Structure 1
Amino acid sequence: MNWLYVAMFVSLWSLGIFIMSQHFRQNLWAGLSLLCGGTASFAFSVHLTIVPFLQDHDWLAPWASRPLYLASVFAMTVYFYLFPYVFCISGLRFGAVRNRKIVLLLTFILALPPAVLLGNRLLNEAWNSFTISSFRWWSGLLFGLGCCLYLLSWALEKEYYAKRAKRRVALLFSAAVVWAFTADFLGFRTLKLEEWRFELASNEAWKNNVFVILGLVGAVMYYTIKYGFLGIKLRIERERLHSSMRALTMGVSILNHSIKNEIQKISYLAEKTNDYIVSGQTEKSKQTIEQVHKVARHMLMMVSRIKEKADDIELIEKDCDIDWLLDSVAGPLKPQLEGRGIGLQVSVETHGTLRCDPVHLKETLSNLLHNGADAVPEQGGELTVRACLVKKHFVIEVCDNGCGIPKDRQAKIFEPFYTTKKNALSFGLGLSYCAAVMHKHKGDIAVIESEAGKGTAIGLYFPLSRFRPAARVHRYAPGIFASAGRRFTRF
């Protein structure tokens, strides 16, 4: 059992360092909370496991004994006096308060009580002993405030999927801290650390900490791998995707796939033009002919731009109006989709310009819409294109009410030559091309949500630096994820 105490602080410290290494500024205080939370386990491990093990094997050198002892006392001091403050600040910076000046002011103000309590202890008590009642309720106040801030941040979040992610963090961290306060700050009465023994007056609840802490670490790792935690998502498939994209050398096949989509548009528009001419509807025939010209121009630009390799996609960037960009994709497709009984709606929640390559981006959106059209029912199909801001990204979402993508296939759909279609002309290259285009834009493409029989939402994520709003916008307004959540319940 004693070696489990070592596993406690090692796992907490490893997790804290890992979280900070992924998004340092965003996760600094959350990572520090895990580091501070593991200091008590470290102190007890030194006394109960590490030193006895070294002594049994005669490995504890005289010069190393004193530093180890001082480290254990320092660790307990950090746990009792710094941990509540760090956890409270991590809750403050989780998103409940978004005014930077207020956050900095509260960070300073909340540091005063633990600093005063620690100073009073060092002046009036033995440095290696702790009387818990002298700081118990101040620590409880900071723990409670931190839990409230985590829960408030969750409650205030408007984006559907971001709200679910915050719920996981808030509930896990709050539950762990409530247990820590109950077992250690309420359960302990006095603690005196000596070299090498300690005197502890408590209700013995702390002996169950091992199950709570290892359970917390296990839950965080599970959510990190499966859903994402504190902005981190580990996916082996992501590495496989990058490897596959580097190995893709069949640019000609990519080009063939793009041309196939454009020929389908031209063929349909030519039929409609013939019908309008036969029926004497001259104006409508002129409109469809103009659509044919647009498709032909786009196809010629694609042919001249795709090189010998898919990895050699080169961007010619310019500032594109979002409304124009989406309308230029939806316009040629609408007649074809309407002929199949499929509705197409375009919604721009945030107007402005996007720094991008319009040719490749329009082809990417066209691919997503073609895939969505193939997935929806023959009658009553619905496609939606939405554009808005989501925190640090500008996102374009393509949503359908089709058959959905099974969870075990979602990680593979962006790989070259992987396809779920039974059509012999489908090479599985459309989405891999879309992924390559997004990577060239320093962005990403991902399945936002997909449910069997209800539909799929795929998002194109662009760095916010590429977007310039037409007017002042509220970045945290309800956006793409919240609407996606509502839409899936409506199908």
Structure 2
Amino acid sequence: MIITVLIAIWAFGLLLLFTDPRRLSTRWASATAFIGGLGYFAAVIDEELYPLLQGYVQQYPLLNPGMLFVSSVSSFICQIGLPYTFLMFAVHSCDFMPNRVKMIIQYAALLPPLLMLVITPIYPVLQFDYWIMVMWVTPYFLCTCVLLIYLYWTERDPMVKKSRFINNVLAILPLLFVFISIYVMRIFDQYDAWRYNIVIVSLQFILFLAISVKYGLLGVKLRIEKRRLDSTLRAMTSGASILNHTIKNELGKINLYADRIQSYASDEKRNEMNEDMTVLLQSTQNIMNMVNRIQGQIQDIVLKEDIVPLHEVVTRVLQDVRPYVEKKQIEVRPHLDEKAWIKGDPVHLREVIANLCQNAIEAMHQGGVLTVSLYRSKKHLVVSVADTGVGISKENLGNVLDPFFTTKKNGQNYGLGLSYCYNVMQKHQGMLEIQSVKEQGTTVYLYFPSKLVVEKSPREE
């Protein structure tokens, strides 16, 4: 069982490192898992390898002292390193903290672990003074928890906020239990309390896997959803092109013969037949318009990139929809960062924001609030469009991005608006996320990667 837990902890550390190896806070989180696993590594040596290798002691006289030394060193590194790496994870997660301050904290926080190295006998028997340990480990742990909770509380980016919440659930509660069992309980000579950590670590790993599947941690769910939607859009594009060609050919024949019949009816002064042919020709034209509209929204998008002032794009869209919001008595609340310039296609971006605003207006029958926000986080430039309308039910929320899926009853809607928005965001290497509660409202988030952000607008040069 101990070996299984050790493998789970170190696998957890590898998975964390896999998420974003270039980010310093991620590396410290991974280090926390690996150093925490050293305690179980020491237990594996003491309880699994030591009894198993006793038959080789006479042949290899240094075997027992070697295993005892490795076990003691591993346990020592675990106990002094765990609070330090956990604190460093929190410190290097703080975007508001200057790098110089982070480095000062990083080196200053090494003093208590180095003190323990000086005063603690490690071999042949590891002997910690746990009263001294608790005196510095406690503030380390409390400072870490305060920083992580503060980062979650002040985060504006919804996607990052969700990630911080998950990180806090996976880190703070399990390590609180570990802190009590490893440090506090040993003050009272309860040295076997660490064994209860096996249950906590097992539950932590299971919870990690469950969250990965449900909320897309590590991008698992995101990649699955992206692959499904992309393959659907590719199939729709190919199928619509074939269907479009066929329908246009057949409509051409219908138009030709309808026009000939209408000419005959006009020459023969058969007014009723002439009127029927006029209706028929109008119907074929309506079908052609509908086909062209569908084709235009699902065909592959080619970006014509420029430097785009997104706040101006949003402002123009809000001006365009003013007659609709005034008619429905909807309050508009714009919160726009005027320095939000990005590299993108201004036409498609405007169409996306217009689509989202129009959907929000249609979701509010009479009165309500339309809130459009534009702001930057460390990872994204975020556009959010929120309404206080009818919302989307849970059973429909998972299908709203599918082509031709719609909950609207009017015949002018083909269920392609959000699919088009998703496609445009993918072309901009961004993401689209929808949050909705039935009868409370819907918020759509557009996440543009920071690498598209232009730090200085052309007008400032």
- The answer, yes or no, to whether TM exceeds 0.5 is yes
Structure 2: which amino acid aligns with 1:145?
C
CA distance in 1, matches of 2:108, 2:192: 34
The answer (yes or no) to whether the contact 1:93–1:103 under 8 Å persists in 2 is yes
The answer (yes or no) to whether the contact 2:340–2:381 under 8 Å persists in 1 is no
CA distance in 2, matches of 1:380, 1:307: 33
CA distance in 2, matches of 1:354, 1:126: 57
> CA 1:370 to 1:113, structure 2 compared with 1: closer, same or farther past 3 Å?
same
The answer (yes or no) to whether the contact 1:132–1:188 under 8 Å persists in 2 is no
Give 1 or 2 for the bigger CA radius of gyration. 2
The answer (yes or no) to whether the contact 1:151–1:171 under 8 Å persists in 2 is no
Q: Which runs of 5+ in 2 are unaligned?
A: 245-291
CA distance in 2, matches of 1:183, 1:307: 63
Task: Indicate the SS of the match to 1:94.
Answer: coil
What does the per-residue CA deviation read over 1:407-434, in whole Å, with 9 as the maximum and x for residues that have no partner? 3433332233333334454332221111
The answer (yes or no) to whether the contact 2:298–2:420 under 8 Å persists in 1 is no
The answer (yes or no) to whether the contact 2:16–2:30 under 8 Å persists in 1 is yes
CA distance in 2, matches of 1:133, 1:120: 9
Matched, 1:461 2:430: no
Give, in angstroms, the shift of residue 381 of structure 1.
4.5
Q: Among 3, 8, 18, which residue is 2:5 paired with?
A: 8
What does the per-residue CA deviation read over 1:26-71, in whole Å, with 9 as the maximum and x for residues that have no partner? 411112112211221222134334665x669x999x7896776655
Task: Give the equivalent residue in structure 1 for 2:126.
Answer: 130
Q: Among 430, 436, 443, which residue is 2:430 paired with?
A: 443
> CA 1:98 to 1:226, structure 2 compared with 1: closer, same or farther past 3 Å?
farther
CA distance in 2, matches of 1:308, 1:399: 23
What does the per-residue CA deviation read over 1:151-180, in whole Å, with 9 as the maximum and x for residues that have no partner? 343455466775565355335523322322
Task: Give the equivalent residue in structure 2 for 1:142.
Answer: 140
TM-score (norm: length of structure 1):
0.70
Task: Indicate the SS of the match to 2:321.
Answer: helix
Matched, 1:218 2:210: no
CA distance in 1, matches of 2:359, 2:67: 63
Q: CA RMSD in A?
A: 3.8
CA distance in 1, matches of 2:405, 2:123: 65
The answer (yes or no) to whether the contact 1:250–1:308 under 8 Å persists in 2 is no
The answer (yes or no) to whether the contact 2:157–2:382 under 8 Å persists in 1 is no
What does the per-residue CA deviation read over 1:380-410, in whole Å, with 9 as the maximum and x for residues that have no partner? 2443322222332112212222221233433
- Tell me the number of residue pairs that the alignment of Structure 1 and Structure 2 aligns: 403
Q: Among 362, 366, 371, which residue is 1:374 paired with?
A: 362
What does the per-residue CA deviation read over 1:285-315, in whole Å, with 9 as the maximum and x for residues that have no partner? xxxxxxxxxxxxxxxxxx89x87973x3111
Matched, 1:207 2:195: yes
The answer (yes or no) to whether the contact 1:419–1:426 under 8 Å persists in 2 is yes
**Matched residues, percent identical?**
26
Task: Give the equivalent residue in structure 2 for 1:385.
Answer: 372
Task: Indicate the SS of the match to 1:460.
Answer: strand
Give, in angstroms, the shift of residue 227 of structure 1.
4.1
Moved more, 316-325 or 417-426: 417-426
Task: Indicate the SS of the match to 2:307.
Answer: strand
CA distance in 2, matches of 1:149, 1:324: 36
Structure 1: which amino acid aligns with 2:345?
D
The answer (yes or no) to whether the contact 1:321–1:354 under 8 Å persists in 2 is yes
Task: Give the equivalent residue in structure 1 for 2:275.
Answer: none
Give, in angstroms, the shift of residue 15 of structure 1.
1.4
Task: Give the equivalent residue in structure 1 for 2:26.
Answer: 27
- Structure of higher RCO (CA pairs closer than 8 Å, 6+ residues apart): 1
Task: Indicate the SS of the match to 1:461.
Answer: strand
Structure 2: which amino acid aligns with 1:357?
D
What are the residue-to-residue correspondences of 1:202-351 with 2, within 5 Å? 202-227=190-215, 234-235=221-222, 236-250=224-238, 310=299, 312-339=300-327, 342=330, 344-351=332-339
Task: Indicate the SS of the match to 1:208.
Answer: helix
The answer (yes or no) to whether the contact 2:39–2:74 under 8 Å persists in 1 is yes
Structure 2: which amino acid aligns with 1:118?
L
Moved more, 91-100 or 450-459: 91-100
Give, in angstroms, the shift of residue 150 of structure 1.
2.6
Q: Which runs of 5+ in 1 are unaligned?
A: 191-200, 257-302, 472-491
Task: Give the equivalent residue in structure 1 for 2:382.
Answer: 395
TM-score (norm: length of structure 2):
0.74
CA distance in 1, matches of 2:402, 2:449: 23
CA distance in 1, matches of 2:158, 2:167: 15
Give, in angstroms, the shift of residue 189 of structure 1.
6.8
The answer (yes or no) to whether the contact 1:307–1:313 under 8 Å persists in 2 is no
Moved more, 67-76 or 211-220: 67-76
Structure 1: which amino acid aligns with 2:77?
V
CA distance in 1, matches of 2:329, 2:178: 59
Q: Among 153, 167, 183, which residue is 2:151 paired with?
A: 153
Structure 1: which amino acid aligns with 2:112?
P
Task: Give the equivalent residue in structure 2 for 1:182.
Answer: 180
Moved more, 207-216 or 130-139: 130-139
Task: Give the equivalent residue in structure 2 for 1:484.
Answer: none
Structure 1: which amino acid aligns with 2:133?
R
The answer (yes or no) to whether the contact 1:441–1:462 under 8 Å persists in 2 is yes
Structure 2: which amino acid aligns with 1:91?
A
> CA 1:370 to 1:148, structure 2 compared with 1: closer, same or farther past 3 Å?
closer
Give, in angstroms, the shift of residue 318 of structure 1.
1.1
Task: Give the equivalent residue in structure 1 for 2:114.
Answer: 115
Task: Give the equivalent residue in structure 2 for 1:359.
Answer: 347
> CA 1:37 to 1:350, structure 2 compared with 1: closer, same or farther past 3 Å?
farther
> CA 1:412 to 1:308, structure 2 compared with 1: closer, same or farther past 3 Å?
closer
CA distance in 2, matches of 1:28, 1:375: 44
CA distance in 1, matches of 2:63, 2:412: 73
The answer (yes or no) to whether the contact 1:13–1:38 under 8 Å persists in 2 is yes
CA distance in 2, matches of 1:17, 1:412: 33
> CA 1:97 to 1:375, structure 2 compared with 1: closer, same or farther past 3 Å?
closer
Task: Give the equivalent residue in structure 1 for 2:81.
Answer: 82
